[in-house]
Amino acid sequence: MLFFNTYNHKTCGDSMNQRQQELLDRLNRTGRILIEEEAEHFGVTSMTIRRDLRFLEKNGLAVQTKNGAIPKPKIHAAPLNIAEDSAVKRKIAARLLEMIEPSSTVLLSTGTTTLTFARLLAQQNLPLTIITNSIPITSALFQTRIKVILIGGELRTNSLDLVGPAAEKYLSEYHIDLLVTGCDGADAQQGFYTSDLNLANLEKLSAKVSDKVIVITESRKFGRKALVKFAEIVDVDAIITDNRLKAIDRELITRNGVEIIVT
Partner DNA sequence: GTTGTATGTGTTAAAAAATAACATTATTTG
Partner DNA sequence: CAAATAATGTTATTTTTTAACACATACAAC
Cα separations in angstroms, 55 against 64, 67, 73, 114, 221: 10, 16, 16, 38, 44
Q: How near is the Cβ of 263 to DNA at its closest, in Å?
A: 20
Closest by CA to 182, choosing from 249, 83, 78, is 83
The CA distance from 24 to 42, in Å, is 13
Phi, psi of 84 (to 5 degrees): -85, 145
Contact at 8 Å (CB) between 206 and 230?
no
| Window 32-51: contact mask with DNA (x via CB under 7 A) | ---x-------xxxxxx-xx
- Interface with DNA (CB under 7 A), residue from 54, 169, 208, 244: 54
In this complex, which beta carbon is closest to DNA, that of residue 33 or of residue 137?
A: 33
Q: Which does 4 bind (CB under 5 to 8 A by kind): DNA, a second copy, none?
A: a second copy
Stretch that binds DNA, among 64-72, 81-89, 128-136, 150-158 (CB under 7 A): 64-72
The distance of closest approach from Cβ of residue 16 to DNA in the complex, given in angstroms and rounded to an integer, is 9
Q: Which does 17 bind (CB under 5 to 8 A by kind): DNA, a second copy, none?
A: DNA
Give the Cα separation of 118 and 127 in Å (integer). 13
Question: Site residues (CB under 7 A) for DNA?
Answer: 15, 17, 19, 35, 43-48, 50-51, 54, 64, 66-67
